[in-house]
Chain A
Amino acid sequence: MSLPKFTYCEPKTLEEAALKLAEYDGRARIVAGGTDLLLGMRRGIAKPEVVISLARIAGANAIVASATELRIGAMATLAEVAQHPLVQQHFPALACAAAVTGTVQIRNMGTVVGNICNASPSADTATPLLIYDAKMIVVAPGGERTVALAEFFRGPGKTALTQGELVKEIVLKLPSGTTRSNYQKLSPRSKVDIAIVGVSALLAFSETGAIRRARIAIGSVAPVPKRALEAENMLEGCQLTPEVIAAVAAVAAKEAAPITDMRASEDYRRSMVAVLTRRALQQNQREQQ
């Protein structure tokens, strides 16, 4: 069972890659780690005539920090992101999600940018990146643009990328003040399997312990990973009490629009959004104390 045939190229720069993509308009695909693309080709879902590898682009696997932000390059693997000290320190939900995506082997191959560009509703790194207000730096033959991650997902397997566009890197603003964040994943085969539900929550606390800013994102329960905006709004300005947590968890569950599939039913998924939201908020609270 071999893969379908294609032509392969390894551009040296992102601009060159964008030009190739534009040239083959819809008939070319980018390959990073290949763990989604090769599976898609094997299943006959993806049939690119041209496969454009990012492997030879210098610095594409970099994870670099400045005084204000962290940049995750297109070829940075899930394992590299999970193990990066600055990711662990400032973006623990992302470090955790990257550490439980797939298997050891998949994490050594697959990239975070690939996980996002594949745009699966269950993509493990999506909800963490949503709570950190991630920005995607998009390169096209004509130049660069920035797309907020919340605007990037357009449906299962669909992104905001248009002809000739590819993602250069993900940019995260380093948090200021006291923030707590974590990722909760529920999956059948321990952590290896695709998430039935994934929830990430971030709370920024003021000096009085009130919540200054809240982010809750839910995965595997809608056509795209998304923020639970109503639940977030309820939290701002509040002190976290068991009653507040229960109410917010219930609203987050209402904001989910899950489906029934072989992994779980709609009802179960919805209930689990409430459970995981509660756990995420409780963990934030414990870490704050």
Chain B
Amino acid sequence: MDKVCITLNVNGDRYELAVDPWRTLVEVLRDDLNLTGTKIGCQTGDCGACTVLIDGKSVASCMMLAVAADNKNIATIEGLSTGQDELHPIQEAFVEQGAIQCGYCTPGMVLSTKYLLDQNPDPTETEIRQALSGNLCRCTGYHRIVKAVEAVAVKMRADGKGE
């Protein structure tokens, strides 16, 4: 059973790897690339802890073979903020609104929020809740997460950078 040679473009960095075909994307991100910001929860596609963006679209990286991500652009939580010590506005809003407790769901929540705002910069509360319905949180009760998304949507529209 041969390994497969793949190229992953993660947060703008290019990695050439030989991987076992049965390994999932989240396993390769965490174990081979040491990008442990992406979390593993259920491993059955339900919780969203492993959410990453592939060519701009949110996916559950526990349900995707790493070989299926060959040559794609992958965005993980590590690549979201541009500067060394800065946070992305979405991350900032989560901190400010108290939308983080243990933080295990947060990388996935933040990436699902990014995917939502990329498509819809001015979402209603219902649209926010629907957009995050594939991300489970055991701690916050969701209210503050929704508030954080509302706040950052306003801020990003005001700043005029819909990214």
- Give the B-binding residues of A (Cβ under 8 A): 1-8, 10, 31, 34-35, 38-39, 41-42, 51, 53, 55, 79, 102-106, 108-109, 190-192
Contacts and interface: CB of A to CB of B under 8 A. Distances in A.
A53 B22 CA distance: 12
Interface in B65-83: 65, 67-68
Interface string B126-145: 00001101100000000000
A3 B1 contact: no
Interface of B: 1-2, 4, 20-24, 27, 43-46, 48, 51, 54, 57-60, 63-65, 67-68, 112, 115, 130-131, 133-134
A88 B85 CA distance: 45
Nearest to A56: B70
Contact of A8 (B48, B67, B130): B67
A2 B28 CA distance: 11
B22 A6 contact: yes
A8 B44 contact: no
B43 to A, nearest CB: 6
A5 B115 CA distance: 33
A12 to B, nearest CB: 14
Contact of B60 (A41, A55, A109): A109
B27 A105 contact: no
B60 A34 contact: no
Nearest to B52: A105
Contacts of A55: 68
Contacts of A10: 67
Contacts of A79: 57
B60 A7 contact: no
Given A5-B1, A105-B45, A39 B21 contact: no
Given A34-B65, A103-B133, A105-B63, 14 more contacts: A5-B1, A7-B21, A8-B4, A8-B65, A8-B67, A34-B68, A35-B63, A39-B44, A42-B44, A51-B21, A79-B57, A103-B60, A104-B112, A106-B60
Nearest to A107: B134
Nearest to A35: B63
B29 to A, nearest CB: 14
A5 B67 CA distance: 14
Contacts of B112: 104-105
A103 B132 CA distance: 9
Contact of B134 (A41, A42, A53, A106): A106
A8 B58 contact: no
A2 B23 contact: yes
B44 A108 contact: no
Contacts of B43: 1, 42
Given A55-B68, A103-B133, A38 B24 contact: yes
A30 B57 CA distance: 23
Given A8-B4, A38-B63, A38-B65, A106 B45 contact: yes
Nearest to A1: B43
B94 to A, nearest CB: 18
Contacts of B130: 104
B131 A104 contact: yes
Contacts of A1: 43
Given A2-B27, A105-B134, A39 B115 contact: no
A62 B20 CA distance: 29
A124 to B, nearest CB: 15
B58 A108 contact: yes
B22 A5 contact: yes
Nearest to B129: A190
A2 to B, nearest CB: 7
Given A8-B4, A34-B65, A39-B63, A104 B58 contact: yes
Contact of A192 (B22, B57, B68, B133): B133
Given A105-B134, A108-B57, A192-B133, A34 B63 contact: yes
B1 A6 contact: yes
23 contacts: A2-B22, A2-B27, A3-B24, A5-B20, A6-B21, A6-B22, A7-B1, A7-B2, A8-B22, A34-B63, A38-B45, A38-B63, A38-B64, A39-B63, A42-B43, A53-B67, A55-B68, A104-B58, A105-B51, A105-B134, A108-B59, A109-B64, A192-B133
